[in-house]
Structure 1
């Protein structure tokens, strides 16, 4: 049986909770993911982490994904980039790391123009507020 090359951890937080509480939850997720990776003998320093956030009214659903080995290679190759809602959720959650890194994490390798074009299409298709993505589209 082949060994897995990715892991995912999900949590839902209330947007109305204080920012400190929400940030604590995200920090706990990162710590827990690292502990689980060590448990299955994967070095948490050698994996690629990607956040995704989906807005659900007053709730936000966060997913922390860890990729290594073949899964990491596929994402970094740009062969199969995220599209539509998955792309918007990935871009929004990873905007703080800058456009170059966000493009890589969302599966576009170093093709920033294609990332921006696809993100713009997803924003329009999903009727999302463009200002949420200003940092990536500028």
Structure 2
């Protein structure tokens, strides 16, 4: 659900990171900036600086862990029944 008001600080960074894979337009909208991509980018850059994050573009917020989770479609190993171990 999109934020009804523009987010700032850690909330903005968290929201932008969660939507980074969908692109800047989606991230800006979800973070409450609508179509104002310039303001979104400016506020996000400022929030990242305040958090000492070295991010030059939105895709920089996607972590290695996010990529592993996306690729992690491995096989689940579990017992057939609760009594079988």
Could you say which TM-score interval applies, normalised by the shorter chain? 0.5 to 0.7
Moved over 2 A (4+): 133-136
* Residue in structure 2 matched with residue 135 of structure 1 by the alignment: 59
Q: How many residues align?
A: 60
Tell me by how many angstroms 1:134 deviates.
Answer: 4.1
TM-score when scaled to structure 1?
0.39
TM-score when scaled to structure 2?
0.62
Structure showing greater radius of gyration is 2
Counterpart secondary structure, 1:94 = helix
Picking from 3, 10, 17, the partner of 1:85 is 10
Residue-by-residue CA offset, 1:19-43 (whole Å, 9 max, x unaligned):
xxxxxxxxxxxxxxxxxxxxxxxxx
Q: Distance in 2 between matches of 1:135 and 1:106?
A: 15
2:16–2:31: 8 Å Cα contact kept in structure 1?
yes
User: Of the two structures, which has the highest relative contact order with CA contacts closer than 8 Å and spacing of 6 or more?
Assistant: 2
The Cα RMSD (Å) is 2.0
Picking from 44, 50, 68, the partner of 1:125 is 50
